[in-house]
Amino acid sequence: MVGKTALGRYRLRRPLGQGSNAQVYLADCLDDPPRQVVVKRIHDHVSKHPHFRQLFAAEVESMANFTHPYVVRLLEASIDDPHGPCLVMEYVPGVTLEQVLELTGPLDPVRVCYLAGYLCHALQAAHDSGVIHRDLKPSNLMVLDVATPRESLKVMDFGFAGFAARPYIQLAELTGRGPIHAMGTPSYVSPEMIRGDRVDARSDLYSVGVILYELLTGRLPFDHTDLDRLLTAHLKDAPPPFHKVGAGHIPDAIEAVVQLALAKYPNERQQSARELLDRLGRAVGVDLWEATAPEGYEAGLAVAEKLDPAETPEPTAEPADPFQIAYRFEAVMPERLAAAKLRGFVEDLGGQVLASDPGLIRLRLGVPPGYRDGEGRGNGLLGWLRAWRRPAVPRGQEPIELELHLERPDPSQPQLNVLLRLAPMKDYPPADGSLWSRRCETIYFTLRRYLGQ
């Protein structure tokens, strides 16, 4: 890839690194005046995922709809570039906080508090916009002007963040089969992510607590090499006091802020990034919020230029097909409780879960035993034979496909807005339109009862 030109105007100069999802390059923008940028090319094995276009669109949306002086900015994106899907971001000259820690060991407490100030400003703005990072760690924090009076910090990889407004219920939660995965990096992941609880902005504060603990003591609060033991420690073990890990010189007031951020349950921690920073400021006698505030920044959303995420359009309120019926309603509950109730709805009605993505769950009800997708399709003799072998269903019992579009308008509240779409399966068109409408209405009211409405 070195020497090639991405998106028609970014010549790749050299690799900067790679992760499980992408290769990252330093590139020269060929515009006038020229400038350096970072191009993140998505790996081929990732782009072949069946839901890749939707996931790519979500990443671009997450980065494009939130900008801040202390966050690495998205400049451009394309899913159909000849060299593969790419994201173009500003180039930030500096080193990661992970590299700083490796070179210097534990940092001076006041220096740590100022770095926390830049981080908390970025997080507070993100959380106010409904964006949660979910994977904070020192390698995702770029330090600028290292060890100078101008030292500051920028947060990277908000593209892997998620909009708190789009609830994600994992497939395993709906089917009872398979593991429920904890997102994030194991050493920095919050207990609620491991438990599978609803995740909000306070999950990021736990990760901040882990980072502060590491910067101040030179070690992680839980450093087990066995993954199961490490995750169990996040869930159950108390972090060692600073004096037991050779950091007894750290003021008690600072340690108290860090230990509070590492509480096992979100309601026991600080409730916002600003509260965490204000407590640190009181511990060192400095108004850190004011001291680290970005000059001239006004909170709000800004949209990046020239984006081409190929997003899936939002569903229309009234489908054109007369057999497609939509209902809207509200439910008040956290995601984990909604997952349990939806699982009961599916099991009690003999349904099938087809897919679960952020903000969208797809189901089928009434599929006859032995049915396989595509059996009733095709032309000629083969198509006729497949249709003839297709399992029959009685009139008025045709299978129904459901889409649940979920949105949380206020990430701090448990209210869910639900758009329910019902449609017939292509192989089983309804024989009676009025009966079909009544069946859809019954399913709608049944679902509302399961969700406590």
3-state secondary structure 311-364: CCCCCCCCCCCCCCEEEEEEEECCHHHHHHHHHHHHHHCCCEEEEEECCEEEEE
Q: Is 135 a known active-site residue?
A: yes
What is the Cα–Cα distance from 348 to 343, expressed in whole angstroms?
A: 8
Token pair 């509070």 is at which residue?
A: 260
Count of other CB atoms within 10 angstroms of residue 387: 13
3-state secondary structure 242-279: HHHHCCCCCCHHHHHHHHHHCCCCHHHCCCCHHHHHHH
Q: Strand 307-308 to strand 74-78: parallel, antiparallel, or no bridges (unpaired)?
A: parallel
* Secondary structure letter of residue 226 according to DSSP: S
Q: For the residues of 190-222, what is the DSSP string, one character each?
A: -HHHHHT----HHHHHHHHHHHHHHHHHSS-S-
Question: Can you give the length of the chain in residues?
Answer: 453
- Looking at the chain, the number of H-run helices and the number of E-run strands are 14, 17
CB 289 within 8 A of CB 274: yes
What is the Cα–Cα distance from 370 to 367, expressed in whole angstroms?
A: 9
What is the Cα–Cα distance from 338 to 159, expressed in whole angstroms?
A: 26
What is the Cα–Cα distance from 236 to 25, expressed in whole angstroms?
A: 40
Token pair 């679902």 is at which residue?
A: 447
Q: H helices of 18-130, where?
A: 44-47, 52-64, 97-104, 109-128
Q: Which of 135, 200, 204, 427 is catalytic?
A: 135
CB 323 within 8 A of CB 422: no
- Cis peptide bond N-terminal to 369, omega within 30: no
Q: Strand 352-357 to strand 360-365: parallel, antiparallel, or no bridges (unpaired)?
A: antiparallel
What is the layout of strands, in order, in the sheet containing 325-332? Answer: 325-332, 415-424, 400-407, 360-365, 352-357
CA angle, 359 as apex, 175 and 90 as ends, to 5°? Answer: 125
Structure tokens at 66: 């939130």
Active site residues: 135
